[in-house]
Amino acid sequence: MPESNSKKPYIAAVSGSMRETSSNTRVLLAATSLLQGAYDIRLSDHIQTLPPFNPDSDHDHSQAPLPVKQWRQFIAEASAVMICTPEYAAGIPGSLKNALDWLVSSGEFVNKPTAAISASPGQGGGSIALASLAGTLRIMTATLPDNCTHSIAFVSKKLTATGVDPETETELQQLATNLSKLTTTA
């Protein structure tokens, strides 16, 4: 994660894909850039460093592994969280689920304004993964209204050299606006 000394409020941007040229990361950056100005945008790389979740290591949070502490702090201090994920085998990637599992007992998502996006090269748009992600976030009591969820089908055709095509940008702008309204009323 690029560190910042800025005290400006930030959006935690979390990609469910670890691929260097991930379409989901590109969508995520396009969506969060629409909030830039009011917020810093901080792109998470935490899911790559987290150990596999083990409830035995989850009793005393002060003794949690350092990457877990850093991940918890990153989400806790964010004004809002935006997650964009691919769908793997009709679910969310295991690494993203692992990262979320580390936050269940510590509660960083409680009432956290959150947006969830899925993007897929296929016609389903990763909507099964999106539903699963939304279910997990809502059980963690994140603030995730339906108008802060969005799935993008045929994503490879919608990416451009600088971001996304105009139609997708309009959709992401609506989502970003909906998310920012949650942060002002939270």
Q: Given the rule CB under 6 A, which of 42-50, 81-89, 141-149, 164-172 is the region that contacts ligand FMN?
A: 81-89
CA distances from 157 to 14, 18, 58, 122, 165 (A): 22, 21, 42, 10, 9
CA 95/CA 103 separation, integer angstroms: 13
C-beta closer to ligand FMN: residue 5 or 123: 123
C-beta closer to ligand FMN: residue 8 or 19: 19
Alpha helix stretches (DSSP H) within 49-120: 66-76, 94-101
Q: Is 163 in the site for ligand FMN (CB under 6 A)?
A: no
Q: Is 121 in the site for ligand FMN (CB under 6 A)?
A: yes
CA 175/CA 29 separation, integer angstroms: 13
Residue 153 amino acid letter: A
Q: Is 168 in the site for ligand FMN (CB under 6 A)?
A: no
- Interface positions, 19-78, toward ligand FMN (CB under 6 A): 19, 22-24
Residues that bind ligand FMN in the complex, under the rule CB under 6 A: 17, 19, 22-24, 86-90, 120-122, 124, 126
